[in-house]
Amino acid sequence: MSFRVGQRVRVADRLHEGHHRTPIYLKGKTGFVELAHAAFTNPETRAYGAEGLPEQQLYLVGFAQNEVWIDYSGDRGDRVYADVFEHWLEEA
């Protein structure tokens, strides 16, 4: 599945043992794709010596601060950005 810039996405809220690059505080949160980076080897398997194939598309996703942090009291336009691999994203 591919996502397009501007598309609303949700970070999968699932358990994962071992190494992964998806920030825990973003699991289950909804944001918008800001940029589609290139595809890269999967760091979750590369960390254990595997080839990391197939490559995974990487996206820059923007999240409203008040969506991420319940008690956030700053400007409503404030965002937090994270690079998230495609296999951690789902349609929102």
CATH number, span 8-91? 2.30.30.50
H runs (alpha helix) in 1-92? 43-46, 65-68
Check residue 32 and give its pLDDT.
99
| Whole-number Å distance between alpha carbons of 16 and 48 | 14
pLDDT tens digit sequence for 24-80: 999 999 999 999 999 999 998 888 989 989 999 999 999 999 999 999 999 999 999
Where exactly are the structural domains of the chain? 8-91
Residue 91 scores a pLDDT above 80: yes
pLDDT tens digit sequence for 1-26: 799 999 999 999 998 777 888 999 99
